[in-house]
């Protein structure tokens, strides 16, 4: 029986994982999907990690920590601090050692990748468009239900000064949404190879993969060998 610690992205709503949680629990697994203090401007990655670990409690057997988008840095830090069987990053901000979340946007090349994807889609403006970037493949009823759970994301994680001290020594899986418009798939694939040393698993769906394609995501999460760093097909772990 696996214990899944599922960390949401911006807005900090544990509800984001509810469709995935239903499917994992149906397998007999335990799911912990905490709300993170996204609306607290004083809370950064260390506080997010504390909240997640408090929710996990004394569960220590067969733990897999999963980070979505902004949940990625917190998931990596948790895997560094406590014993977990596996780290999974889903459409995530994959950090580099010594790099803060605030620095990630420039250091990763995100802006250039997104602008190229916007141009390829025939759009003129690369400015933020929630509907186009996040909700294009989320069922309308699911998107409507999520509105009450979402909170405003403050700049806390981007200005608190936290950076990753060292990459955790655990197996890593990276899951990429093939249709992600916010973190384009080819951009994510490059980061997975360069930073996590792993060939990612590409799943149909956009940035909010747990809402758009929960079945595909669960299949990727529960596959024992998919994209795990250290496999014969994976490049050496990036330092």
- Calculate what percentage of the chain has a pLDDT beyond 90: 80
Segments making up each domain of the chain, as ranges: 3-222
pLDDT level of residue 121 (50, 70, 90 thresholds):
confident
**pLDDT attached to residue 235:** 35
Among the ranges given (2-11, 143-152, 183-192), the one the predictor scored with the smallest mean pLDDT: 143-152
- Residue positions counted in the chain: 239
pLDDT (tens digit per residue) in 128-159:
788 888 999 999 999 999 988 988 999 999 99
Mean pLDDT of all residues in the chain?
Answer: 91
pLDDT (tens digit per residue) in 153-175:
999 999 999 999 999 999 999 99
Task: State the Cα angle at 196 between 173 and 4, rounded to 5°.
Answer: 30
pLDDT level of residue 231 (50, 70, 90 thresholds):
very low
pLDDT (tens digit per residue) in 55-89:
999 988 899 999 999 999 999 999 999 999 999 99
**pLDDT attached to residue 227:** 59
Three-state SS sequence of the chain = CCEEEEECCCCCCHHHHHHHHHHHHHCCCEEECCCCCCCCCCCCHHHHHHHHHHHHCCCCCCEEEEEECCHHHHHHHHHHHCCCCEEEEECCCCCCECCCHHHHHHHCCHHHHHHHHHHHCCCCCCCCCHHHHHCCCCCHHHHHHHCCCCCCCCCHHHHCCCCECCCCCCCEEEEEECCCCCCCHHHHHHHHHHHHCCCCEEECCCCCHHHHCHHHHHHHHHCCCCCCCCCCCCCCCCC
Q: Which fold has domain 3-222?
A: Rossmann fold (3.40.50)
Taking residue 46's Cβ as centre, other Cβ atoms within 10 Å add up to: 14
Dihedral class, residue 68 (left if φ above 0, else alpha if ψ from -120 to 50, else beta): beta
Work out the end-to-end distance of the chain between its first and last CA atoms, rounded to an integer number of angstroms: 32
pLDDT (tens digit per residue) in 191-215:
999 999 999 999 999 999 999 999 9
Residue 239 has pLDDT above 60, yes or no: no
Q: Are strands 63-68 and 86-90 parallel, antiparallel or unpaired?
A: parallel
Burial of 189 (0-12, 13-18, 19+ CB in 10 A): middle
Can you give the pTM of this predicted structure? 0.92
């Amino acid at each position: 029986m696996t214990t899944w610690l599922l960390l949401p992205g911006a807005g900090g709503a544990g509800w984001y994982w509810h469709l995935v949680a239903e499917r994992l629990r149906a397998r007999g697994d335990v799911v912990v999907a905490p709300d993170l203090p996204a609306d607290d401007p004083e809370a950064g990655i260390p506080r997010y990690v504390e909240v997640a670990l408090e929710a996990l409690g004394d569960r220590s057997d067969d733990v897999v920590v999963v980070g979505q988008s902004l949940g990625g840095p917190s998931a990596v830090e948790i895997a560094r601090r406590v014993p977990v069987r596996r780290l999974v990053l889903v459409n995530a901000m994959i950090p580099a050692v010594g790099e803060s979340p605030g620095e990630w946007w420039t250091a990763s090349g995100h802006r250039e990748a997104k602008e190229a994807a916007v141009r390829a889609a025939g759009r003129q403006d690369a400015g933020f468009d929630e509907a186009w970037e996040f909700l294009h493949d989320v069922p309308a009823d699911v998107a409507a239900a999520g509105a009450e759970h979402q909170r405003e994301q403050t700049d806390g994680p981007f200005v608190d000064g936290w950076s990753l001290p060292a990459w955790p020594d655990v197996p890593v899986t990276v899951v990429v949404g093939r249709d992600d418009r916010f973190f384009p798939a080819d951009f994510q694939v490059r980061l997975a190879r360069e930073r996590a040393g792993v060939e990612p698993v590409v799943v149909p769906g956009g940035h909010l993969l747990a809402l758009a394609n929960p079945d595909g995501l669960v299949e990727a999460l529960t596959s024992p060998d998919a994209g795990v760093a250290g496999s014969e097909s994976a490049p050496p772990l990036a330092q």
